[in-house]
Structure formats: C-alpha cells, structure tokens
Amino acid sequence: MDRVTQLLSQMTLHQKIGQLVQYNANLFIRTSADITGPQAQLGLSNEDLAVSSSVLNFSCAKEVIAIQDAHLRDDPLKIPMVFMMDVIHGYRTIYPIPLGLACSFDPQLAEDCSVMAAKEASADGVQVTFTPMVDYVRDARWGRVMETAGEEPIVTSAMAKAQIKGFQGENMADPERLATCVKHYAGYGGAEAGRDYNLVELSMRELREYYLPAYKACIDAGAPLLMPSFNSLNGVPSVANSLLMKQILKDEWNFDGVVISDYNAIGELLSHGIAADAKEAAKLAFENGCDIEMCSSTYFHHIPQLLEEGAITMEQLDAAVARVLRLKEKLGLFEDPYHGADPEKAEKLFLCPEHRQVVRRAAAESAVLLKNEQVLPFPKDTKTVAVIGPFATEHGIKGFWSCQGRDEDTTTVAQGVENLLGADRVLTARGCGCLWDDTDISGIQEAVELAKKADRVILCLGEPQNYSGEGNCRTDLKLPGVQELLAQQVIAANANTVAVVFGGRPLDLSGLDAVAPAILYMWFPGTEGGNAAADLIFGLRNPCGKLTMSFPRSVGQCPIYYNHPNTGRPHWTAEYKHRGYASDYIDCATLPLYSFGHGLSYTTFEYSDLSVSSQELAENGTIQVRVQVKNTGDRAGKEVVQLYSRDPVASVVRPVQQLVDFRKISLEPGESQWVEFTVTEQMLRFWNMQDQHMTEPGEIRFMVGYADHFLLTQSINRI
C-alpha cells in the first residue's frame, strides 16, 4: 500500500476536508484578538485550523518553520502543510513585470529569471508559486495585463513553458525549486470594458483559438496545479463551469493535478447569483473539480452534509484529497516538511551580485525602443545630463506584484546614470508629479532651465506602479497629471532628449510621440531598472525588445490587437474609404500607434532569400521556411525574427496576420545567419464553426518581418 492510500485509510472525514482548504498565515499565528477576527468571520474552530494543510500570505522562512512545527506537533498523521505564494516577477530581487519580460522574446531569459526567483523564494519558505499567468489579453484598460505575456498565444505559451521549467526543474522536490500553478482558467483577460472581475462573453471558436492554447501548453509542460478565474464565462463562473472544468480540462486534456480556487472565488458564487447559499456554492465547486478552497470556508461547513445527502460521494472526496497528498509527495514534503527553508541562506541570496546581474540583463532586454530620430545612444563623454521628470529619482519602478521586493532596493534612473558617468555630471529635477490629480506646474520652469543647461536630457515619465495590477483598471491611458505639458516644454528647450517611460500596460503615448524624438519604454523593470536604463541610453547595451501588446492611439480603440480579422469593408480599401463607409474612425487612425512586434535597435537588419522547402503542405505534413538575416549596421545586435502566416480564403474569417513562430538571434556587424523554421500543418490549424481544429485546402502565405511592416512573402498550397 503506497503512502497516499495508507493515509486515506487512516484519515477522519474532518482531516480529509482539511486537506482541501487554504487560509492566510495570520490564522495560524493566533493571538487572543484573532478568535473574534478573521477566524470567527470564517466560522472556523481551532480544530478546523489544526487540520488545515495549505497556507498563503506568510512573510518569511522563520514564519513558515514556526507554522509547520506547530502543525506537525499537533497533527497525529504528521501530514505537512504546503506553503504557496504569488512569486510573479521575482521574490526579493525583482525582474521586469511579465508583460515586459515577454517583450524580450527570450524563453531562456524567462527560465533564467525563474531559476533565480525559485532559489530566493524556496529559501524563504515558498513551496508553490501562483504563476505563470497565461491570460490572453487585448485591452490595455485591464490592470492585470501587466501579469500576462500579451496578445499572442504562441509567445505566451513559450514564455510560460520556460517559467515552468525554471521554477520546477527536473524535480520539484529539489529544495531550490517550486511547483507552479497556472492561472487564471479561463478567459479572464477578456473582461468586458477592461474592468477587473467583470463578465466574459466569448464564442467557443474564439475561446479555443486564442484563450485556451496557453493553458494547455502549461499542462503539457508539467504544471501540477491550476487556478480557475474569478470571472463568469458565458454566464457561468469559472470555478463552477462544467465546460471548462470537466469537459475541457479533465476529459479533453486529461489534467490530473490539483485545482485550487482563487481568493474566496467559491464564496463569491453567491455574489454572482449562481448559488443560493454557501452549501450550494460548495457543491457546485466541488462537483466541477475544485480540489482546494482558498480563503472561504464552504467545504468545512457543508461537505459533510453533501456527503450525507449523496450530492457528492466519498470516492470523489478521496480522489480530491489524494491529488493534494500526491502534490505534497512530489514536493518531497514528507521527507522535508520545510522544503529547504533556511533564513540564513535566504538573506545571502537576496540581492546578491549574481541575481542583480540576471535582473539587470532582463530589464535591458525587455525594454522596447519605440522611436529614435538619431538621438540615441548618447555618447559616454556627454559632459552634463539632466535627468528630469517624476520618475527621475523614483525608486518605485519595480512593479505592482513584486512579492518581497522593496522600493528602497531599486536603482533609480538618476542613480543608474550617476553609476555610469559620475554624480558630478548628472543634474536632476522632478518637474511635476505623476498622479491623476497632480495639476501643479510650478516645477516645470526649473526643469526647462535645467534642460537648457544640459548637453542631453533623460525625461522620465509614466504611470505609478500601483496604477496597474489587480483591481487597477483605467479608462484614461494617457500619462497622468501634467506630464505631457512637462514633455512639451522640456523637449522644446533641448531636442537631445529621450523620453523613458515606465508603465504596467500599453499607454496612450500619442501626445508624447508627437514631440519626443526618442521614446524608450521600460515597463516596470525591477530592482536594476535604473542601471539597465543607463546601459541602454548610453549604448552599453543595444535595445532588442519587441512589443507583445499593441499600443493604442486612443483608449477608444481598445481592445486593439495585431491579429484582427478582416472585414467586408477594410479600412484600407479605397472603394469604400473615399465614400466614408469603411471600417474606420472619423477622428483617429485605425491601426495602433505601435503594433505587436515593433521595436527598434541601434543597428539595422536586412532580410533576404525567403524560401520554402515545398510548395505544398499536406495534412500532418511539415515544411521548412528559411530566411537570411544580415546585420547591416555598425553595432552588434539581437533581432527577433518573426514568421507570420495568412490564410486568405477559409470557411471562417481568418486574421489578416498570425504569428507562426519566432527566433531571437545575435549578429555582429556585417554578420549573416540563416534562420530556419519548421512549420507543421498542425501549427496552421484553426477552429471552425463545427468546433473542429483543422486547416482547409488552399493558399497559405508566409511573411517575415513585423506585424506593421512585412519584408518578404512566400505562398504555398495546403492540399
């Protein structure tokens, strides 16, 4: 008899239910006040907490060890607790937000960052991380776009698989590794009006085509946990949605890992109006496969009665408990309940030089050079540099969901430039604030005078880091406050200005784009953001990031995305446009300000000799697509070679362009390289109206270049 089967035979009903609940750490480090606080609000007894076996929101390794010690002392079966946390873009040493990191188009970099984060987090007691987040997004108004990889499932899948590999390694029982939980399943990124937690309405074709592939990729990559999303999908909240949880997840994808609800999501079934009371909420969630209830208490209170009534069976309960116990077994917790938690080791790892080097490289490779009119890079012998703007000396650029990261550990842009040039060559002025209601313009004149004195200007703008992330949705995507006015006057005073912008989402930069000769988008770059900015601005590193989410010209364009379908009256068709009846706006251009895949470099690349190995592609067949890329500039650089396809005639309207694959290459000046893509027929499939995944006979076009500018095209026939 194996360990799990033996434990199940020994466990009481109360102990079994305890394996299926998760609560905040403060409930397990109780004072007398807690008895009438959160514990009482949840209706939990001390006996309930004694058998609960999953914890989140703890502070450090010492707390984990104390909670685990107390639990093992009191638990007759000595089943260890499991400790989970949102390690999203670093633990204490912070790398760029996921949307920024995805712009590196570098899965190996994502893996390296995840390995680093796993070392720090595991030493501080974390055993499971609630990442990767693979929600597909098109709407920059939604605050949680910062946690995603953007608007392309292929990029999202590649980055997520790399994160899973980095966090878990070959063996998640390794004390320097973590188990991963993919979230939020499914469709959360399609929230109506870009408002968090809002309803999502999607056709089955749209759901399968864009929103589901990355979840499936994560499961195939070995993610042992999955978290359903808060939202309702086509009228049913995800945690109770049998289509998602049973038909697709369990029956089609054969997922046999642990499903854990999001925070109070089961309790919120009452707010949705899908359950009349907590008992019905527990029934709906449990029967649809939710194993662990996070931070609500319907399972403790109602599973016994549901068993008694026959609404659920003991076999179902045992199967759920077994999944949780097997997760603990895979983590090696029965052998080492602390999973290598070591306060002294953690302190040595935090912010160590090796980890700072990793996140500095990540910050540099995630930044996207949106515009450059022969301004960058600045020469290192520049005599005076004015670093101006509300983010010039601001430490708060690490990002919203930065776990144990601290603002004070984060390098500012001014510090980064001082580290490179010396403090005597750097002048600073704030100029204005960066909040909604900042209308004070009294500091702008000082900034203008400073800009006039300096040889060059770094203008640091953006949105505060708490203006994006969970619950932080926006209907105005412009730079907050009077930052555009600051930019206009500073750039008028000194044309040798680069605008460095910090943000957790694509912003409406139309006003800035109209005046700034150069724009470098840093996202929220993490602990080494200021040093990375200096590296890029002064040419120690060559920008190589490419956008994974389109930047709108106006919030009124949202949602906007590169892989949009054609219409019967496309905006570019002269036949309709001159009459005013094209699919267009009368007050704004139709296309984004900066499209998916856009990103400049300090060097130039030439593409030539695009070829295909065959003019025909059969079902289940494979072809090779080759292109030669040459660095035609005078600097070494990295290029993201992007292969797109278009299916011009199909039984359903297809996108005007669709990314098929990408490669990131590095070339010295004058160097050429052949880049080869292996394209299978399965990679070109789409979902038709009969819910079939297929391709159809006819022309397929391949294009290389960028979504807003294709360089070469080749066609084949699907037979």
Among all residues, which ones are annotated catalytic? Answer: 262
Write the single-letter amino acid at 154.
Answer: I
**684 neighbors 644 (Cβ within 8 angstroms):** no
How many CB atoms within 10 Å of residue 689? 10
**264 neighbors 239 (Cβ within 8 angstroms):** no
Provide the phi-psi class of 147: left if phi over 0, else alpha when psi is between -120 and 50, else beta: alpha
- Which residues on adjacent β-strands are paired with residue 680? 622
Residue located via tokens 């009482």: 40
By three-state DSSP, how is residue 474 classified? coil
Rounded CA separation 304/313 (Å): 10
Rounded CA separation 594/547 (Å): 8
CB contact set of 365 (below 8 Å; sequence gap of 6+): 104, 106, 109, 541, 544, 545, 638
CB contact set of 179 (below 8 Å; sequence gap of 6+): 127, 128, 129, 167, 168, 172, 224, 225, 327, 330, 331
Q: Identify the DSSP state of 199.
A: -
| CA distances in angstroms from 374 to 384, 498, 512, 519, listed in the order given | 19, 11, 17, 12
| CA distances in angstroms from 311 to 16, 260, 556, 613, listed in the order given | 17, 21, 48, 58
Rounded CA separation 236/74 (Å): 40
Rounded CA separation 247/440 (Å): 56
State the pairing for strand pair 368-372/518-521. Answer: antiparallel
Q: Identify the DSSP state of 622.
A: E
Rounded CA separation 659/254 (Å): 28
Count of positions (residues) in the chain: 719
CB contact set of 658 (below 8 Å; sequence gap of 6+): 563, 644, 645, 646
Rounded CA separation 718/616 (Å): 6
Provide the phi-psi class of 353: left if phi over 0, else alpha when psi is between -120 and 50, else beta: alpha
CB contact set of 273 (below 8 Å; sequence gap of 6+): none
**465 neighbors 526 (Cβ within 8 angstroms):** no
State the pairing for strand pair 426-429/385-388. Answer: parallel
**193 neighbors 141 (Cβ within 8 angstroms):** yes
Write the single-letter amino acid at 23.
Answer: Y
Rounded CA separation 15/1 (Å): 20
Instruction: Tell me the Cα Rg of the chain.
Output: 26
- Which residues on adjacent β-strands are paired with residue 458? 387, 498
Rounded CA separation 151/548 (Å): 6
How many CB atoms within 10 Å of residue 608? 11
| CA distances in angstroms from 182 to 5, 200, 296, listed in the order given | 27, 19, 21
- Which residues on adjacent β-strands are paired with residue 608? 628
Q: Identify the DSSP state of 247.
A: I
CB contact set of 634 (below 8 Å; sequence gap of 6+): 603, 669
- Which residues on adjacent β-strands are paired with residue 536? none
**203 neighbors 243 (Cβ within 8 angstroms):** no
